[in-house]
């Protein structure tokens, strides 16, 4: 693999699509309840699952959810924010099994660094961060790929422009 090229890993759309369809179904059920005179509970169900449908639809839009790797670092694009992490800031990547699901975790070189991105699971599995998605790959494969990028970039110094863009 050429580590000088940019690699973009897109999120799996199927899981978001399933969630979107489920939420729409529940929203329709809530609206049906409103039409058949059970209005308070129906409105609550319709509103809750309507927002869930919107939240599950947004990641299906183009360029709304991905993981981008280049020689300077990784970019995590999620529904609410984009986070850039330089390779030299990360100590290591690993795959961990939690609740019957494989996840990719990483830890910062500077342990006192505050959580800048997604999920802080310090109380659950130690001072680590968790990637929000494995982008259709096995967690072990993704962790290995990220670790190879991190090690390969060891000779590249900090590019301040990377974190600013």
The DSSP H or E segment spanning 129 is strand 129-130
CA atoms within 13 A on the CB side of 80: 6
Task: Name residues of the chain where pLDDT drops below 50.
Answer: 117-118, 123, 155, 157, 159-164
86 lies in the same domain as 140: yes
Give tens-digit pLDDT for 72-113.
899 988 877 888 988 888 888 888 888 888 888 888 887 555
- Side-by-side strand order, sheet with 7-10: 7-10, 66-69, 73-77, 82-86
- Domain assignment present for residue 4? The answer is no
114 lies in the same domain as 143: yes
- Domain assignment present for residue 3? The answer is no
Q: How many domains does the chain have?
A: 2
Beta-bridge mates of residue 68 = 8, 75
- Please give the residue range of the domain that contains residue 50: 9-60
């Amino acid at each position: 693999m050429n580590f000088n090229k940019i690699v973009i890993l897109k999120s799996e759309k199927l899981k978001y699509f399933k969630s979107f369809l489920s939420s729409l179904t529940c929203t329709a059920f809530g609206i049906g309840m409103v039409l058949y005179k059970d209005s308070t509970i129906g409105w609550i169900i319709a509103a809750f699952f309507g927002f869930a449908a919107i939240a599950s639809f947004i990641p299906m839009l183009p360029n709304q959810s991905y993981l981008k790797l280049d020689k300077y670092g990784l970019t995590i694009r999620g529904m609410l924010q984009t986070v850039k992490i330089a390779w030299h800031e990360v100590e290591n990547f690993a795959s961990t099994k939690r609740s019957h699901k494989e996840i990719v975790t990483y830890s910062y070189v500077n342990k006192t660094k505050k959580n800048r991105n997604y999920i802080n699971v310090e109380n659950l599995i130690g001072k680590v961060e968790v990637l929000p998605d494995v982008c259709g790959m096995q967690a072990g494969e993704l962790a290995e790929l990220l670790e190879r990028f991190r090690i390969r970039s060891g000779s590249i110094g900090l590019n301040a422009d990377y974190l600013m863009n």
